[in-house]
Chain A
Amino acid sequence: MVETAARELGVSPAELRRKNFIREFPYQTPVIMAYDAGDYETSLEAAMKEADYAGFEKRREKAKKQGKLRGIGMSCYIEACGIAPSAAVGSLGAGVGLWESAEVRVNAVGTIEVLTGSHSHGQGHETTFSQIVADRFGVPIDSVSIVHGDTDKVQMGMGTYGSRSGAVGMSAVVKALDKVEAKAKKIAAHLMEADEGDIVIENGELKVAGTDKSVPWFQLALAAYTAHNLPDGMEPGLKEGAFYDPTNFTFPAGCYICEVEVDPDTGETEIVQFVAADDFGNIINPMIVEGQVHGGIAQGIGQALLEGAHYDPASGQLLTASYMDYTMPRADDLPSFKVSTSNTPCPGNPLGIKGCGEAGAIGSPPAVINAITNAIGNNDLAMPATAQKVWSALKAATKH
């Protein structure tokens, strides 16, 4: 819509977006969402620079000489993730609360087991959740294990969707870690006859700040379970649980730019360049975040160009019921992607995370379609933009 408006007004699509960016936060939208923080211009600048937006007309000319129609399209997206404050979804009619649960069990030898209600089916929780635990206590990452998807062990959980595992699931882990840390410090202070406020955790040890007194993490864990010498009235053990109910949604945002070449004879579209610049707030593991974006972009490009569900109008039978008839994007339908991130921390959760699971699939379809419609000079193009549809839209545009 913004792209069409820009074309009809004869202004640059980037300029029109820039003019309309929200710059003051918090920003209450007319619907339930209140945007908490963001820096949309930084993503726009980063994407335009990476895509060499300014040099596009030259590339268009060059393509034209080779008989190809080159087009460029952008999309600036914002999404509501980290779902969700239970009261907010309740007011929208949801029958459940959308908190997440976590339990941190420190074993007597100091290894740590984290139970989470966020399931991992490729999102890498085993890595990222372990990272925040290992960072907190300075223990080797291999000594942390993540338990998920086992209802015999994990009491309650709301699951992995809506880019919520980081923002909500990890926040629950952080809350449980806070409790573990507080108890561990109490025990350490008691063992070393120091003040609780002077205990710091560094490199796998609990130290009394400014002295050479310390207790190794594993020894502290053992002390919690032998319970020979605990502060008065303290229960043995080192295991804490927490529920985290977010106070707000999180709002990842970014700018995607797609450049295509259309073959005017066949309507075939080739994606020649794809750039994504996302603001995900703080990031725990860049490699995993990039992987999530790559997969999302591929899915969005699939939706824009290839994937369509067709039913037989007479019988209602699904005709695209297997990979023989439903086109999944293949490696040669896609280029390598240029992805980058900026990091405006999310004020709503303890880690400042916004979430990144869906961004790629949200930002890419409009960018692809905007690029094709830019190339063929016809804004009227439905997804999936198959070669036949693009060819027809091109013919319709050249008729007028």
Chain B
Amino acid sequence: MSQVEMVVNGRKVSGTVEDRTLLVHYLREHLGMTGTHVGCDTSQCGACVVHMDGKAVKSCSILAAQASGSDIVTIEGLANGADLHPVQAAFREHHGLQCGFCTPGMIMAATDMIARHPEGLDEKTVRAELEGNICRCTGYHNIVKAILAASKAMGKAAKGKTKKAA
């Protein structure tokens, strides 16, 4: 058994888990946070993507014990109260989800992608970087559209902020 403690969406959590417990199972089964999905647990589908210390990771490919001591953000921690995160808002606006199974992973991967490309994104880059996230419903068309729109909106918001600061 392993003793784990971490911060999940700003809340300190701790517990004792079997050594083999995956981070995604710790989140879903121990903490009851079922927003993060499991589509394969062999690291292909991306439904389980969360942020660990600010980086997108597949939580089915990391042990809870490995994540001990880190700062985790899941889909549940993205919105600010009733205000959706800009990426969530863009998915909603552009009909970027149908069944919703891939959506938590898509959104967590997308926020990470946008953060890594402050210069902005083009369609080719978005498609290439979505390699690790599978969707069966949308044909990716509206997901790509939503990510591009969110990247634009967030780029504008960031510029606005730096102007204000200056």
Contacts and interface: CB of A to CB of B under 8 A. Distances in A.
A298 interface: yes
A337 B44 CA distance: 24
Contacts of B40: 322-323
Given A121-B99, A323-B40, A324-B42, A330 B134 contact: yes
Interface string A268-295: 0000000000000000000110111011
A312 interface: no
B127 A331 contact: yes
Interface string B53-68: 0000000000000000
A294 B94 CA distance: 13
B44 A323 contact: yes
How many chain A residues sit at the interface, stated as a range, is 20 to 34
Interface in A321-348: 322-324, 328, 330-332, 334, 336-337
Interface in B56-82: none
How many chain B residues sit at the interface, stated as a range, is 20 to 34
Interface string A295-309: 111110000000000
A337 B100 CA distance: 21
B138 interface: yes
Interface string B130-144: 110111111111111
A336 B123 contact: yes
A111 interface: no
A328 B97 CA distance: 17
Residue of A296, A297, A334, A336 with most partner-chain B CB within 10 A: A336
Contacts of A295: 98, 136-139
B139 A297 contact: yes
Contact of B127 (A294, A297, A332, A337): A332
A323 B128 CA distance: 18
A10 B144 CA distance: 40
Interface of A: 121-124, 287-288, 290-292, 294-299, 322-324, 328, 330-332, 334, 336-337, 360
Interface of B: 39-40, 42, 44-45, 95, 97-100, 123, 126-128, 130-131, 133-145
Given A295-B137, A323-B134, A328-B134, 9 more contacts: A122-B137, A288-B95, A295-B139, A297-B139, A322-B42, A331-B126, A331-B143, A334-B141, A336-B141
